[in-house]
Chains A and B, each alone.
Chain A
């Protein structure tokens, strides 16, 4: 933009005026400004370094070590071999994968459908939003204890069993059943967490221009066609991001088995990979084995995230 304060020279009158040079800042001022920036940054860097990066590096190193009598030695792949031979290893992965798939079907789809319904409503949307978000405000441990003691009580006094009995349907042992443990954890987890996802989807839905729906309606699109051809494409970015976050979060399943099943559950039916890490580290006095399992989990989740990024880059 030409400077209003500098008159164009007669020689170059036909040319647009050159922008006025900003006065060069003194070196000291520049450093001071940068210091302020770095000072703001340093807190975050220290926190990440201390509580994220350092533990990750330390865990990786520990996975190749063993500590006996306070003396730490390098043992190569020993810890990994031992973890791979643990009879619970594959069960934990199988349970975690099952939980992730079920959570993807239920915990991912249900909030989206709920958000679409809320978005279509003309009245009481605010109340319903609060209602759906309420469980998120409960501490996760409290919410799970509610399920454990009231909903999943295996006797007929349990809430779910009482309802099933009232409907003349077969009751369940819930967390004490090898077949119901994982679905029961998914159900509780979805109830606890869906409020946040619903609000995010709702925000994305409300950003879709109304003209697109009007155009679709003029073209004769019904509800499902509008969802398929307008809603889903317009929220693709948030949907794919939420899918990745959902998978990464559900693969780290821990508090649900810990509280609902008091740990591993019946015949390891609730054991997750994260719980197995906890069991090795804190109950079996095997912190090095736990570190090895943690590294394996990191590699798997890292692989999944890389695949996701590659796929989304291709789509773009």
Chain B
């Protein structure tokens, strides 16, 4: 081959290769199809490779489901261990690359609807398709509804409480059976735990990556406050209740020095410290202990959970949130029905999928946590699930009994929650890192920004 010919072949090969590469990058594929009786759907939030047991269970469930429903093919997609890391999720929504049945937080309804990616599924959902549908809490369903239109299926929910390290409580001379009930008691206990030294924070909190705003909201709810007005149009935290939240934190951080030096923490940072035994208390959901154990080398036996503390008495509310699945716009009736069947099997059937405690117990996945709280207390599904959970518990149920037996009224997250949390991070980080930061000024700044964001969202 002459040099000229060689160059020509190389150039054509390069162009052909590029074409192939671009074709491979294309997001349009044959993933979402229904031909004849055969239906294929793509579903995300498959566990990642490092979650070996969970991934094995997921694959086994897909196989079993497909055997039961030979006309349905499930194509699983992994989108990271967190399933909804807000920037990745936003990119998938904006780029139109979400799967046919896609995972989202309860706070994401507005964003999903604005993107135009979700379809209404009201007409397809009933107890024939999802047998436990009538047992699922109304609040959880409401998080995926707008008016009387249903856009998604809730699959997990939580409410927050006070997680505490029993080991550190004992070392600090505190009674682990009688954890703090109020923010004043949290402050006192935090001082004693921090006095142990060795870089231990008596109480720890977030202030970055949207998690600071999330926890500000949770602590405001415990005071009886709300982040936005009832009509959702204005910020409603620049008041005495909001000031108490920040003042409590400022006092613990700088007056008591009980929150440690390291701040600007986001989700993984705090849980890493907790897993290393450097955190006495923090506000969280029951499954935070799962993350501490499975991802951050902690031990279940170190942790217990109490109800959310209140100001001078029991908490007036606790933040509730959760997750579920939306359906991508444009799916056929058969695809929606296949997706609902899969969710019913994997996420909403007692004894199967996420509720398969017999399988989870020997795998050391936690059984016995008071979460999810998806089924209405007293309903058939609630009772059946609870019985199975108690029979197979592998965590000490007593450690979570104070939380489970003293329910605090749940307040769900507001619309546009992630945008609000991003702004409130700034107030939390200021108070936790700058001794001269003014609580009043920080709340005012955040209020102005939230009002601006809400006005923009309403346009």
Contacts and interface: CB of A to CB of B under 8 A. Distances in A.
Given A82-B452, A279-B422, A262 B208 contact: yes
B261 interface: yes
Nearest to A29: B4
A285 B4 CA distance: 53
Nearest to B441: A267
A157 B199 contact: yes
A266 B430 contact: yes
A283 B422 contact: yes
Given A262-B209, A265-B429, A267-B437, A286 B419 contact: yes
Nearest to A78: B459
Interface stretch (B114-122, B137-145, B172-180, B284-292): B114-122
A87 interface: yes
Nearest to B111: A285
B390 interface: no
B426 interface: yes
Interface in B60-91: 86-87, 90-91
B264 interface: yes
Given A70-B115, A157-B199, A263-B208, A42 B418 contact: no
Contacts of B442: 267
B426 A264 contact: yes
Interface in B387-424: 416, 418-419, 422-423
B419 A283 contact: yes
A62 to B, nearest CB: 10
A266 B429 contact: yes
Interface stretch (A105-113, A170-178, A183-191, A209-217): A170-178
A49 to B, nearest CB: 11
Given A36-B11, A43-B15, A283-B419, A67 B433 contact: no
A176 B8 contact: no
A87 B448 contact: yes
Given A32-B8, A67-B116, A86-B449, A266 B434 contact: yes
Contact of B117 (A70, A71, A175): A70
Query: Chain B contact residues: over half helix, strand or loop, or mixed?
Result: helix
Nearest to B416: A285
Interface in A274-316: 278-279, 281-287, 289
B119 to A, nearest CB: 11
A67 to B, nearest CB: 7
A66 interface: yes
Contacts of B90: 281-283, 285, 287
A279 B8 CA distance: 47
The 7 closest A-B pairs by CB, nearest first: A70-B116, A262-B208, A39-B11, A282-B87, A283-B422, A176-B433, A266-B433
Interface of B: 4, 7-8, 11-12, 14-15, 18, 22, 86-87, 90-91, 94, 110-111, 113-117, 199, 208-210, 260-266, 269, 329, 416, 418-419, 422-423, 425-426, 429-430, 433-434, 437, 442, 445, 448-449, 452-453, 456-457, 459
